[in-house]
Amino acid sequence: MSYAAYKMMHWPTGVDHCAAGFVTHSPSDAAAFFTAATVGPGPEGDIDSAAAASRPRRLGPSPNLVVAAANVLEVYAVRAETAAEDGGGGTQPSSSSGAVLDGISGARLELVCYYRLHGNIESMTVLSDGAENRRATIALAFKDAKITCLEFDDAIHGLRTSSMHCFEGPEWQHLKRGRESFAWGPVIKADPLGRCGAALAYGLQMIILKAAQVGHSLVGEDEPTCALSSTAVRIESSYLIDLRALDMNHVKDFAFVHGYIEPVLVILHEQEPTWAGRILSKHHTCMISAFSISMTLKQHPVIWSAANLPHDAYQLLAVPPPISGVLVICANSIHYHSQSTSCSLDLNNFSSHPDGSPEISKSNFQVELDAAKATWLSNDIVMFSSKAGEMLLLTVVYDGRVVQRLDLMKSKASVLSSAVTSIGNSFFFLGSRLGDSLLVQFSYGASKSVLQDLTNERSADIEGDLPFSKRLKRIPSDVLQDVTSVEELSFQNIIAPNSLESAQKISYIVRDALINVGPLKDFSYGLRANADPNAMGNAKQSNYELVCCSGHGKNGSLSVLQQSIRPDLITEVELPSCRGIWTVYYKSYRGQMAEDNEYHAYLIISLENRTMVLETGDDLGEVTETVDYFVQASTIAAGNLFGRRRVYGKGARVLDGSFMTQELNFTTHASESSSSEALGVACASIADPYVLLKMVDGSVQLLIGDYCTCTLSVNAPSIFISSSERIAACTLYRDRGPEPWLRKTRSDAWLSTGIAEAIDGNGTSSHDQSDIYCIICYESGKLEIFEVPSFRCVFSVENFISGEALLVDKFSQLIYEDSTKERYDCTKASLKKEAGDSIRIVELAMHRWSGQFSRPFLFGLLNDGTLLCYHAFSYEASESNVKRVPLSPQGSADHHNASDSRLRNLRFHRVSIDITSREDIPTLGRPRITTFNNVGGYEGLFLSGTRPAWVMVCRQRLRVHPQLCDGPIEAFTVLHNVNCSHGFIYVTSQGFLKICQLPSAYNYDNYWPVQKVPLHGTPHQVTYYAEQSLYPLIVSVPVVRPLNQVLSSMADQESVHHMDNDVTSTDALHKTYTVDEFEVRILELEKPGGHWETKSTIPMQLFENALTVRIVTLHNTTTKENETLLAIGTAYVLGEDVAARGRVLLFSFTKSENSQNLVTEVYSKESKGAVSAVASLQGHLLIASGPKITLNKWTGAELTAVAFYDAPLHVVSLNIWHQKLAPCQIQAWAAQFLLRVPWAMSKARSWKEQGSQLSLLAKDFGSLDCFATEFLIDGSTLSLVASDSDKNVQIFYYAPKMVESWKGQKLLSRAEFHVGAHITKFLRLQMLPTQGLSSEKTNRFALLFGNLDGGIGCIAPIDELTFRRLQSLQRKLVDAVPHVCGLNPRSFRQFHSNGKGHRPGPDNIIDFELLAHYEMLSLDEQLDVAQQIGTTRSQILFNFSDISLGTSFL
């Protein structure tokens, strides 16, 4: 293997940074919308205007939430659901998430836009000037000193770069002052009034970013700025302040303070550095200085300062007005400082004070605040999330502008956070790298009704007139997990205020959670509970899952991840040659059942030349003979018309239940009966009360239903008869709801009224209005949307199939008009003959899923297997541009009216979708896209075909999950009846009909379906025992112990004697100390229900840490048989005064089912040094104990050393490869650096004859902080892969014949690559066979890896021809694609040596993160780029699908 591909499969989920601001809308927009939504008289679900007016509202307009996880940037909107008032006056908990707080019954995060950047976000802030009509700008900082400002652009419904600032390269080299590496990247903060931003780069360089005055900016005058909607804050210029010149040498933090005319920057810095060993003589070394920033004069005078702050101060918080000033957060104390006053609060006994300082108030409980994250809930309450996951509230008690004291109180326990921000005045967000991130609603003092609501829900015997405090005490708290007697905040727990006496009765409800599977420390690869033993080929991969150690402390959990979905099978039937399946509803009378939970009545199965009809009652019974369906031929489509009372079958028959009420024949000239297939229907689309048919000859017919007579009439729209263009695909879209979405995009939106339609409900039908639209795509690639039944064109796009990033109605294409037209003409002329003509659209679908704010998606399937996916949005062009509207639409019947009634504000932006399937689809195939509204509680669409996939819509975001377990799927439909609740039916190409449900244990709102099993401890390492499907797992749980017990067990007897004299006089021995207690849990996945159970626990001794757990196969020399044992390596952690010791433990698994003990200890031995790695090698046990490696043979009762090797460094992992050689690769730890030492033995035969020995073959001579190692195998080529602490991956090889290898002593570099994350584990998996790879390379292995950000990816070997082709494409894409934030992918992927000397290695890895942009280019650009690098588009896409097929593990 000389070449490899790097591919991410699961992107990072651990949240590093979060911020809130009005990014997609200005505060005034939000306020206008908010008042309209709450006060305006609306249908059910909105509040009565009278009730809304009478009740005071705390919920203001909601800002956006911006979240950054490693290199992923996401912008969310917070969607709050208001609670409907009852006549009774009490609040009813709504279905969403329970309790009502402040008139809100639920809230969720909805994705606005999402970007994967070519660089990790080091710091993030939101610049906003607080004006009502101006939006905020997101400012991001990247290594080493790059800053990018992004603003939301309505025209593309996404972020665009408004300015970029780079302080790198030769001309800025002097800023580094000769230093090569810096501990962290730039930190960026914003002035609260948006006048400027500041970024600290290179440790001591402060970059001031001056914001433009309203109306001035870097953007040129000719660029269109939207006049109607608000503009965002923009950066005008920047300059540098060298903090060294101001006598600073170590800046810890900085912040802008409120309440000054000019921006004032307060900097926390350390005058003379100190460290833990010098605290006695030097302890108050920090100080703060406040600078007034005059940006016009570029001056910055000091206006006040405060010295003598503790050495452990690390964070500044600007206090909001009217108080102003700044809080200095230290590990053991909190200090408030402003220009006039100061005060402090001690948090524990470790805080010290300079001599002569006044008496300082103490907190009434002990807490340490280092590494705490903070956000302001109001102008005087700040919430801290501590390192233990506790939420603390600090109240700044003030009188006028004088702060009198600081008050700290405990609140709740929550997730261990990495970033917090408050969103508006009702929500805050806890972002976490170690657990799920939470959106929490808070309220000051719960209203009476809320508490009544809580109590009624839990215990019905409490009367409403009990006093408030008594009622509070009766709320059972056992539902909340107890963490040191503080309630835990978790998803869907209702939490009452903690105590009445406290200054703030703040109550919290967790409203939403974003899943995080990081940090992935280790993972193991095992069989799923519902695995199929007979699976072959790629389908076999769906038998496996990845069991990962993720999280830390109380957020520690086992994450079970699967890339593909394997449904839970209810029943299967053999059914050859099936063409399609449908389920239909039937209501015999009104008001039978709530609409959304109604059961299906019939299942219709279309075979090759007949149709079967089954009744879906308690069981499926065939009723083909008794119904009037047309059963002598196959069915094209079936569905419901007329409020679900009628069923539409084949030919065209209308049936009421099972009785036919009408039959229609489709004729061209004379009367042909519907059974003759001469002019057949090619496909049909149903939207009550219309049916759209596309005939075999390409013409279109519309059947119009009449509600009164319940009959259909045929109508061939005249507009298509006259037009010469052939129709390639068509579909109907039904836009329904209290306010149909597409109506808002009309230019005369306020005039339009739709069909009001009563739905058969329980008599209380809310009047949903619905508009029907017909979407048609011609073979030329033109897409048009028509109103039905008038067939007036309301939207048209010239070249839909080319997959442009933006679809704009061609009659309102104002801004884009000139540029697009000329580009379109010239590309049309020079379209490459290679693929341009052959590409057709084969299927269209448009659907809007549930949700008040949801917008329609438009899908188009091309015949080469590409799925184009667009999301609709509404954009009002500004008035100045409207004058250029061309008012002469060709082909439209009424010229004068054409422009007004068009959906002029409708636009679509393209959404990237990770679907790997590439297959040629026949133009007249059966439909492949099936939308569903409720399968196991999820909504979305199912894509059938050779590589079927689920596309689920969660938070207005598409989540793609393939389903590979049954091979190609011919047809799919949903089924909801008594035995199969919200399930589905599909038919495989082998001819099996399967009725299934989605596995309910998994959450599908993630890149991969995930199940999280809470462990309430930190998981460290996991392995898999295949014979009994068990997962042994190392877990550590913090336990509080008395200090004297800890000290006595730690030291030898004499030191205890000395210690007694020092300590016993004080009360120190009554204190407690927290130690981590380790154990090995053996977990098993229960077959039904997917529940995880601990089968057995092996506890470690006090202060003994389990370091490694592995399943090993040893050859028993007495019985001459192989035994499979569980090996555990441990270390005693007793401080630096005691020599290191460890143990090797071997356990055997009992075979019998009913025995009490699952494992029994068969061997235990203490060793000098910690046992950090174990592995089995050809029946021997290899043990790494510190720097020593021993090879042991197993007699059944004893391990005997037969060979050893003394490594120069501490060994932490062993990798074995049994083939001709057996190298075991070592990572090692030393005081300053790590070395990786691979070795090998000669053949097993030879060392037995010559006496066994371990000998070093080669090593890498450079220093390397190694995180994980593994072998990469490509046919007969062996390489060694290592990841390091600088987030790189290096590939080495052993070549003793090469001159550079110093006769084989040195490992040579084969490739190097910057991953941007710490990879902690590699797993070697055999690549799957694909058509493209040549047959001789069967022995190919890829490496699956997990990293600390929660990302999973793979490194796979590829052949040279593919590598050369894709590498030239990659170089082309660096310039051909505009990259978000202006980041350069080449510089991001270069090896980062962090200032250490490094000789650059070959660039032999291709980056699929960059290549993914190719599929998002438009068709013309794809053909252009392919031609420029001398290949074809189809060849490139074939290579893409080849690699993704070869690595479609799990």
pLDDT, tens digit (0-9, with 9 covering 90-100), for 1232-1242 = 222 333 333 22
- pLDDT band at residue 754 using 50, 70 and 90 as cut-offs: very low
pLDDT of residue 890: 39
State the Cα angle at 690 between 925 and 692, rounded to 5°: 25
Q: Nearest CA to 300 among 338, 245, 251, 351? A: 245
893 near 791, Cβ under 8 Å? no
For the chain, give me the number of helices (H) and strands (E)? 16, 90
780 near 798, Cβ under 8 Å? no
The string over 660-687, giving b where at least 16 C-beta atoms fall within 10 Å of a residue's C-beta and e elsewhere, is: bebbbebeeeeeeebeeeebbbbbbbbb
Q: What is the pLDDT of residues 463-507, one digit of tens each?
A: 233 333 332 332 333 323 333 334 666 654 444 333 323 345 788
* Selected residue with higher pLDDT from 319 and 980: 319
Q: How far is CA 536 from the centre of its chain?
A: 31
Token duo for residue 534: 């007979």
1035 near 1020, Cβ under 8 Å? yes
Dihedral (C-alpha) 1012, 1015, 1017, 1023: value to the nearest 10 degrees? -80
Please report, in angstroms and rounded to a whole number, the separation of the first and last CA atoms in the chain. Answer: 24
Q: What is the pLDDT of residues 25-38, one digit of tens each?
A: 888 877 766 555 44
Q: Which of 91-95, 745-749, 1271-1275 has the highest mean pLDDT?
A: 1271-1275
Mean pLDDT of 73-96: 63
Token duo for residue 920: 């040629």
Q: What would you measure as the largest C-alpha separation in the chain, in angstroms?
A: 114
Evaluate the omega torsion of the peptide bond into residue 322 and state whether it is cis, within 30 degrees of 0: yes
Mean pLDDT of 1158-1183: 92
Q: In sequence order, which residues have a C-beta less than 8 Å from that of residue 783 and are 6 or more positions away?
A: 775, 776, 777, 796, 797, 800, 807, 860
What are the two backbone dihedrals, phi and then psi, of residue 1376, each rounded to the nearest 5 degrees? -75, -20
Is the pLDDT reported for residue 893 higher than 60? Answer: no
Is the pLDDT reported for residue 677 higher than 60? Answer: no
* Selected residue with higher pLDDT from 91 and 210: 210
Mean pLDDT of 718-733: 81
Spatial distance between the Cα atoms of 1202 and 1183, rounded to a whole number of angstroms: 12
Spatial distance between the Cα atoms of 1050 and 1056, rounded to a whole number of angstroms: 9
Question: Which amino acid belongs to residue 1325?
Answer: L
Token duo for residue 1076: 């981590």
Lowest-confidence pick of 751-765, 966-980, 1366-1380, 1391-1405:
751-765
Lowest-confidence pick of 606-615, 671-680, 870-879, 1347-1356:
671-680
Spatial distance between the Cα atoms of 870 and 844, rounded to a whole number of angstroms: 11
Token duo for residue 586: 């039937």
Token duo for residue 1149: 């698994």
Q: What is the pLDDT of residues 373-407, one digit of tens each?
A: 999 998 889 999 999 889 999 999 988 878 989 99
Spatial distance between the Cα atoms of 172 and 1319, rounded to a whole number of angstroms: 32
Indicate the average pLDDT of the chain.
Answer: 79
Q: In sequence order, which residues have a C-beta less than 8 Å from that of residue 1249 and are 6 or more positions away?
A: none
pLDDT of residue 594: 45
Q: Would you tell me how many other CB atoms lie within 10 Å of the CB of residue 1251?
A: 8
Helix (H, G, I), strand (E, B), or coil: what is residue 681? strand
CA 1196 to each of CA 537, 1114, 1155, 1161: distance values in angstroms, whole numbers, following the listed order: 39, 9, 22, 12
Q: How far is CA 1295 from the centre of its chain?
A: 42
Q: Nearest CA to 514 among 993, 65, 1000, 842? A: 65
Token duo for residue 362: 């103490």
Mean pLDDT of 173-193: 91
Model pTM score: 0.88
Q: Nearest CA to 563 among 517, 519, 521, 522? A: 517
pLDDT of residue 257: 95
1239 near 1257, Cβ under 8 Å? yes
Q: What is the pLDDT of residues 908-930, one digit of tens each?
A: 999 988 776 667 777 666 788 99
Token duo for residue 818: 């000139």
Q: In sequence order, which residues have a C-beta less than 8 Å from that of residue 826 and are 6 or more positions away?
A: none
Q: What is the pLDDT of residues 637-662, one digit of tens each?
A: 777 776 544 555 556 777 776 677 77
pLDDT of residue 718: 74
pLDDT of residue 112: 94
67 near 74, Cβ under 8 Å? yes
Q: Nearest CA to 803 among 825, 784, 781, 818? A: 781
Helix (H, G, I), strand (E, B), or coil: what is residue 880? helix
What is the DSSP secondary-structure string of 1380-1416? GGG--HHHHHS---TTS--------EEEHHHHHHHHH
For strand 4-10 and strand 1405-1407, is the pairing parallel, antiparallel, or unpaired? parallel
Is the pLDDT reported for residue 753 higher than 50? Answer: no
What is the DSSP secondary-structure string of 327-362? EEEESSEEEEE-SS-EEEEE-STT----TTPPP-EE
pLDDT > 70 fraction of the chain, expressed in percent and rounded:
78
pLDDT of residue 1046: 78
Is the pLDDT reported for residue 885 higher than 50? Answer: no
Q: In sequence order, which residues have a C-beta less than 8 Å from that of residue 156 and are 6 or more positions away?
A: 805, 806, 909
What are the two backbone dihedrals, phi and then psi, of residue 1086, each rounded to the nearest 5 degrees? -65, 140
pLDDT of residue 762: 36
- pLDDT band at residue 445 using 50, 70 and 90 as cut-offs: low
Question: Which amino acid belongs to residue 918?
Answer: R
- pLDDT band at residue 787 using 50, 70 and 90 as cut-offs: confident
Mean pLDDT of 268-294: 91
Spatial distance between the Cα atoms of 1393 and 1401, rounded to a whole number of angstroms: 12
Mean pLDDT of 331-349: 93
pLDDT of residue 382: 94
Is the pLDDT reported for residue 55 higher than 80? Answer: no
Q: Would you tell me how many other CB atoms lie within 10 Å of the CB of residue 835?
A: 17
pLDDT of residue 1: 53
Q: Nearest CA to 1168 among 1146, 1200, 1144, 1134? A: 1144
pLDDT of residue 747: 64
Is the pLDDT reported for residue 147 higher than 90? Answer: yes
Is the pLDDT reported for residue 1023 higher than 70? Answer: yes
Spatial distance between the Cα atoms of 1275 and 1359, rounded to a whole number of angstroms: 11
Work out the burial of residue 1057: count CB atoms within 10 Å of its CB; fewer than 13 is exposed, 13-18 middle, 19 or more buried: exposed
Mean pLDDT of 1169-1179: 91
* Selected residue with higher pLDDT from 1355 and 1450: 1355
For strand 690-695 and strand 700-706, is the pairing parallel, antiparallel, or unpaired? antiparallel
pLDDT of residue 511: 92
Helix (H, G, I), strand (E, B), or coil: what is residue 394? strand
Q: Nearest CA to 1247 among 1179, 1295, 1294, 1166? A: 1179
pLDDT of residue 881: 43
Dihedral (C-alpha) 495, 499, 505, 506: value to the nearest 10 degrees? -30
Q: Nearest CA to 174 among 269, 83, 240, 270? A: 240
